[in-house]
Amino acid sequence: MSMHASRTAPEPTERTTVSLPAPLARQIRTLALSKRRSVSSILREALEAYLEGQEPPPLPSFTGVAASGEGDLSERVEEIVAEHVRRERDGDR
C-alpha cells in the first residue's frame, strides 16, 4: 500500500506523460489488472519506493534571490493575477 494511503484528504495530482518500452508497459498493465488497481497507482507506488530515502537535488544557486517574503505566492497565483487584471481594468495602480 502507498505511504500516502492513510491521509484523509487526497493530494492534488499532476498529469505526466511517460514513455516506456512496450514490454515494461505490458508488464505494468498486467500487474495492475491482477491487483485490480490502476496503472497510475502502480507507477506512483513504484516511484515513491524508488525516491524514498534519496537526497533531493540541490536548488539552483539563484533560488530565493528575489524572495518576496510571502510564502504562498505560488498557491495564490490565480488570485494575484485576477487582482492585477481588475486594477488594470479599473485604472487603479
Mean pLDDT of the chain: 84
Give the Cβ contact number of residue 44 at 10 Å: 14
Task: Name the pTM for this structure.
Answer: 0.53
Res 5 pLDDT > 70: no
Domains of the chain, by residue range, sit at: 20-54
Start-to-end CA span in the chain (Å): 52
Q: How far, in whole angstroms, is CA 31 from its chain's centroid?
A: 24
pLDDT in tens, 38-75: 999 999 999 999 999 888 888 777 766 666 677 777 78
Res 34 pLDDT > 90: yes
- pLDDT, greater one: 77 or 26: 26
